[in-house]
Amino acid sequence: MTFIDLCRRVRQDSGMSGDIASVTSQQGQLAKLVTWVQQAEYDIVSSRTDWNFMRGKAAAQLVAGKVEYLPAELDMQPFASVQAVYVDRQPLRQFEFDYLDDMHLKNGGAPVGVPRGFAVTPDNKILFDNQPTQAMSVAIRYCKAAVRLTSNNQISPIPAEHTEVIIQAALMNYARAEQDDYLLRDSTAAYERHFSHLCSKQLPDIKIIGWGG
C-alpha cells in the first residue's frame, strides 16, 4: 500500500468522515490522521535496527590517507546499524568509538596501514583504525535508517504481507486521541498479534549454542 492508501484504509476503519485526496494540505482531523499513520509506520520501522527488510549492502573504494567517511562516500544510505565490513575481502573488527578515538589521540592520528577495525562515530560516520597507503575495496552490510513517509505514493519498506501492523498501530494512535476505549482495546490486540508475526518473519534467527556447542 502507498502512504495515501494506508491513510484511506485507516480513515475507513476508524469511521472518520471525509475523503483523503492527498497526504499534504489536510486540515483538522484528517491532518491528524495522516500524522497518526506516518508516526505508526515510522515507530515500527525504527523500533529495531536489525529488521531483515531494512538490510542494505554497499561497495566502494577507500582513499589513501583517509580514515573517516560519510555514508554517501561509501555508497551507503543513512544507516541504523552496521553489521559487517570487509576491506579487500577481509572482515574487520568493530570497536566502540571512544576506544578507537582514544587510540588515534594517543598516536597523534590514525596509524598508516591496512584497516583492521572500524567504529561508528556519534554523528553516524564510519571511522577506520588505520589509514591505507593506497585505494582499497570495501564492502559493507548494514541496516538502513527509518525514513518518514511524506508523499502520496511512497511505500513503506515493511513487506506488503505485514501491512496490517501499520493499520492497527495507526488505529491505536487514533483511539488514544479520541479516547475510544473499545477501539483501543481491539486495535491493541490486533497490533500485538500482527507485530509478533512481523518479528517472527523479519528478524534474524536467534542461534542458541548448547552444551559443548
User: What's the predicted TM-score (pTM) here?
Assistant: 0.85
Per-residue confidence (pLDDT) for residue 58, from 0 to 100: 98
**Burial, 32: exposed, middle or buried (Cβ in 10 Å; 0-12, 13-18, 19+)?**
middle
Task: Collapse the DSSP code of 38 into the 3-class scheme (helix H, G, I; strand E, B; otherwise coil) and give the result.
Answer: helix
Is the pLDDT assigned to residue 208 strictly greater than 60?
Answer: no
Residue 213 confidence class, pLDDT cut points 50, 70, 90: very low
135 close to 61: Cβ distance less than 8 angstroms: yes
The secondary structure element, H or E, covering residue 93 is: strand 93-94
Per-residue confidence (pLDDT) for residue 206, from 0 to 100: 60
> Across all residues in the chain, what is the average pLDDT?
94
In 3D space, the residue among 172, 163, 198, 212 whose CA is nearest the CA of residue 39 turns out to be: 172
C-alpha separations of 176 from 11, 99, 171, 173, 179 in Å: 15, 44, 9, 5, 5
For the chain, what is the radius of gyration of the CA atoms? 22
Q: Give pLDDT tens digits for 121-166.
A: 999 999 999 999 999 999 999 999 999 999 999 999 999 999 999 9
**CA dihedral defined by 65, 130, 67, 137, rounded to 10 degrees?**
80
Pairing of strands 136-144, 55-62: antiparallel
What integer is the mean pLDDT of 193-213?
77
DSSP state of 154: -
166 close to 195: Cβ distance less than 8 angstroms: no
One-letter amino acid for residue 131 of the chain: Q
Per-residue confidence (pLDDT) for residue 205, from 0 to 100: 76
Query: CB atoms < 10 A from the CB of 90, how many?
Result: 11
